[in-house]
């Protein structure tokens, strides 16, 4: 992963920055066909790729740009399909402008993402997926299949503007707790995780994310068939969620715990907490990693569940094996 980051950064420095708009000059709809772009030049480096005027663009080969704007400043249903397995990297090393995949200022913008990885990041802060920027625009981001969306902020844009994030599959890699924006800011509707997998931070690392923020609340539901992944590396270092909202539901979802060590039996981890202890979380998980239990608990005795707590409770057979291992160590010492 570190190598990949360095490679991306290196490519960013070396590439020429080119901004270009899709003009449909070619015979097909493939991104990599330069004649489809203004000046027959592919957008690259930290340049901006603009897709509007009702065009449909297929990401057929891996690309890197600074910003992607879908359906900007015009009517029509502009579509970006990330379905072939090619990867899209959206990156700027330093900029006050947050990055976007489906940021629209007019008409309808849609991203269909069912394969490959879309990574949105910035060297000095959050990589933001901004869904809608104008009252007359509608934005859709549809994540499914084996698609991976790797980002730091998912921003609806404004609670009064129609924007919808639908994850019926794939993987969401949410990297940081951004107090200003949260996982989804400026509104609490139009977000569905569905059956996607939520990775809090990169694989086998720990991070913290927020749902909503102190100004804009967000209810959050993990659909039945969805998956939550929590990494635990020590008694005090583990993935966490801070909830700004009214409720959180996890009914029927799978809980996967990846522990990098063996905790003490009965050790607990509060992985999901509400900023307002009068709010509620509920829902029994459909499945959980062996040796663990998960339950919503009331931490301030107000009869409202406000924290999701994990507990390490290995099965008797596991405990017996641990005991045999300790016995063997003692005999070896003798």
What local confidence, expressed as pLDDT, does residue 15 receive?
A: 62
From residue 168, alpha-carbon distances to 141, 165, 171, 195 in Å are: 11, 10, 10, 5
- Specify if 200 maps to a domain: yes
**What average pLDDT score do residues 297-305 get?**
91
| Poorest-pLDDT segment among 83-87, 219-223, 273-277, 317-321 | 317-321
- Specify if 93 maps to a domain: yes
pLDDT tens by residue, 212-262: 777 767 777 787 888 999 999 999 999 998 888 788 888 889 999 999 999
Q: Is the pLDDT of residue 268 over 60?
A: yes
- Specify if 274 maps to a domain: no
pLDDT tens by residue, 22-64: 998 887 899 999 999 999 999 999 999 999 888 999 999 999 9
**What average pLDDT score do residues 294-317 get?**
90
**pTM for the whole structure:** 0.80
CA pair distance 235, 268, nearest whole angstrom: 9
**What average pLDDT score do residues 107-134 get?**
83
Q: Is the pLDDT of residue 13 over 50?
A: no
What local confidence, expressed as pLDDT, does residue 331 receive?
A: 55
From 134, 119, 130, select the one nearest 185 (Cα to Cα). Answer: 130
What average pLDDT is seen over the chain?
Answer: 80
Q: Is the pLDDT of residue 280 over 60?
A: yes
- Specify if 334 maps to a domain: no
pLDDT tens by residue, 144-202: 999 999 887 777 666 566 778 888 889 888 776 443 333 443 443 445 566 788 888 76
Q: Is the pLDDT of residue 318 over 70?
A: no
- Specify if 263 maps to a domain: no
- Specify if 106 maps to a domain: yes
Domain range for 126: 2-218
More confident residue, 259 or 102: 259
State how many domains the chain has.
1
From residue 286, alpha-carbon distances to 223, 256, 259 in Å are: 10, 11, 20
What local confidence, expressed as pLDDT, does residue 86 receive?
A: 97
The torsion defined by the Cα of 127, 159, 167 and 294, in degrees rounded to 10, comes to 90
- Specify if 247 maps to a domain: no
- Specify if 235 maps to a domain: no
């Amino acid at each position: 992963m570190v190598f990949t980051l360095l490679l991306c950064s290196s490519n960013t420095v070396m590439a020429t920055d080119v901004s270009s708009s899709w003009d449909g000059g070619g015979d097909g709809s493939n991104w990599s066909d330069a004649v489809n772009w203004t000046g027959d030049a592919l957008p690259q480096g930290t340049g901006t790729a603009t897709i509007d005027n009702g065009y449909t663009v297929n990401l057929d080969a891996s690309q890197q740009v600074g910003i992607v704007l879908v359906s900007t400043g015009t009517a029509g249903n502009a579509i970006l399909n990330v379905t072939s397995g090619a990867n899209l990297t959206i990156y700027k090393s330093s900029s006050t402008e947050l990055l976007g995949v489906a940021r629209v200022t007019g008409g309808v913008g849609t991203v269909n993402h069912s394969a490959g990885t879309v990574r949105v990041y910035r060297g000095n802060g959050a990589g933001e997926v901004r869904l809608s920027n104008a009252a007359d625009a509608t934005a859709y981001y549809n994540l499914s299949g084996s698609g991976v969306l790797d980002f730091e902020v998912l921003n609806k844009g404004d609670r009064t503007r129609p924007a919808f994030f639908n994850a019926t599959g794939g993987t969401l890699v949410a990297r940081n707790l951004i107090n200003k924006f949260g996982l989804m800011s400026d509104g609490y509707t139009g977000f569905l995780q569905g059956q996607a997998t939520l990775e809090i931070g990169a694989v086998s690392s720990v991070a913290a994310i927020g749902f909503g923020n102190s100004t804009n609340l967000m209810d959050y539901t993990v659909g039945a068939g969805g998956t939550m992944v929590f990494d635990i590396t020590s008694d005090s270092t583990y993935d966490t969620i801070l909830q700004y909202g009214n409720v959180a539901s996890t009914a029927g979802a799978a809980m996967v715990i990846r522990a990098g060590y063996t905790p003490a039996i009965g050790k607990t981890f509060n992985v999901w907490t509400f900023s307002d202890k009068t709010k509620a979380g509920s829902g029994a998980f459909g499945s959980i990693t062996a040796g663990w239990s998960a339950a919503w608990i009331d931490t301030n005795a107000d009869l409202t569940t406000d924290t999701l707590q994990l507990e390490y409770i290995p099965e008797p057979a596991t405990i017996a094996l641990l005991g045999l291992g300790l016995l063997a160590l003692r005999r070896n010492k003798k």
